[in-house]
Structure 1
Amino acid sequence: MRHYWTDKPPSARRVGVGETAAEYGEFRLIERISRLFAGTDRVLLGQGDDAAVLAVPDGRVVACTDMLVEGNHFRTDWSSGADVGHKAAAANLADVAAMGARATGLMVALSLTPETDVEWVVELAEGIASESDSTGAAVIGGDTTRGSQLTVAVTALGDLEGRDPVTRRGARVGDVLAYAGRLGWSSAGLAVLHRGFRSPGALVGAYRRPQPPYAAGPVAAAMGATAMIDVSDGLLSDVGHLAESSNVSIDIDASALTISDAMARAAEALGADPLQWVLAGGEDHALVATFPADVILPADWTPIGNVAEGRGVTVDGHRWQGGSGWDHFDRSGG
């Protein structure tokens, strides 16, 4: 997930003109945002107790967690509370899909400064609820606390529905590499925002609210995907995780990658290489998987490469000379 390393980012404490979290009070705020979260038939015991209870028909639970920190992962002058809510939920829901599972529940922990605007927090909750609802998952609980920095931490749970999990370790020599979703859109939108623009709207919107192909994960699992991952840090970086975990090499065919008209125009205006966004840009949360060569790829999956003996990732047979993706502790930007 992309970081920004801004020294003093515009803060949610200055958004809106309503009451602050300190003025509103913790329990009143919890009660208000809890009303936004509906249950599902999997939720046996929802919010309001020490812990929630979910039905687990498969007998196994897929679990993941992710965290967004103001100034590192989002800026409130670039994204509304609802935008941040959608992004926080999507980052976790995509991880569940990348295991070949369907999301069942989300838990959300918030660290708020006393000055945080209450309406911003309500928008955040609405965004989380909307994104989780789109997958059939329910927000089943969480926590709030006071802190020096606005932080959103989400844990997602999922159901394998009787399938084996698709891990990063199963890619085999001869497999085909394919992706579902969008690549490079969010990175292009971030580049536009960094230059002080707000258009093209499609790219900026993709940065603010990614659109992961959630349903594609379980479909890929059912169709025999051998390895899978979501693209959060960049295609080259995340495909590199597949190659390393599976002890294989993977070559990407650049001509098979899609560069949208909006990306091409933005790249021309900014003097950028759109292929760099596609190969190294993260936070679109596309899914990338390997399939046996004799498998007919599911709809919405596009072949973009092949698995061979060796180690590492190449593009058109050569090492990519540009950045490969995001390293959370590399201040150079990856």
Structure 2
Amino acid sequence: MACIAKEVETELLPFLRVYKDGYVERLLGSQYVPPLLDDPETGVSSKDITISQDPLIKARVFLPKLDEPHQKLPVLVYYHGGGFCVESAFSSDHHRYLDGLVSQAKVVAVSVEYRMAPEHCLPAAYEDGWAALQWIASHFAENVIDDEPWLTNHGNSERFYLGGDSAGANIAHNIAMKVGKEGLPGGLKVLGVSLTHPYFCGSKENGSETCEDPEDFGCLVWNFVYPSAPGGVDCPMINPVAPDAPSLAGLACSRLFVSVSENDELRRRGLAYYEAVTESGWEGEAELVEVEGEDHAFHILKFETPKAKDLTRKVADFLTK
């Protein structure tokens, strides 16, 4: 009997296809890898945990090899990239990157597995990112009941960081803005935010009157993953320099790391974001790193190359200052 080809409802190439029967075929993204205790190369241990059952929010926790049993370490809450619709905290690319970063920076990292579009369009990922952060922060408040021992035994609440790449960097930025507005359990403070190749877009370039190509890929992705976004591509969640966006002076951290790459289509937006933060009245210390001759997320996709290792080292340095 001949196979009947399934009909495509819509597609967002090269990321995914959605078929009329509701099946989502993801075309990009590395394979799942299990967590590992005491990685033979790095000494880093990892395990998977459940933060929430409804909605289901999971995470992979990383712990570096300890120098002493009760050692206290910085905490990094990390959000993976993938256009809000592909990749995973459990994928080989992001596991490998976090494993290397944790080994170098000596931090406890929690890589959040948030819900993704099109099954769960935005703002689901933002909601999951915020819920995960509140749960993590609660470990450093009084009367912790449901705790993760790697956090309670080894996390240093005085050195608390948010980070992410691409769409994950977008989430980290928006979470930091929300922290600035609402705070965290126990008055926990975010010391620093690390954004590598942040995903921002908008209808105008850097606030000018020159409209960008309406077929701009970043805008196409945003309209796909958040079709009901207030303001469309000028929603402050994706365009932090939009006219109605809240002041970036409200960014809830005292240190900021932004990295862009020369051949990345998102480079200009990342630079505009960095400039906007530093000119907003925000009182922290900002660092900008631009890598020549590389493309988007190269430090994750080409992890073993010299430039990727150098950028990972710079992020690790930021987390250890």
TM-score (norm 1): 0.27
Looking at CA atoms only, which structure, 1 or 2, has the larger radius of gyration?
1
The structure, 1 or 2, with the larger RCO (C-alpha pairs under 8 Å, 6+ apart) is 1
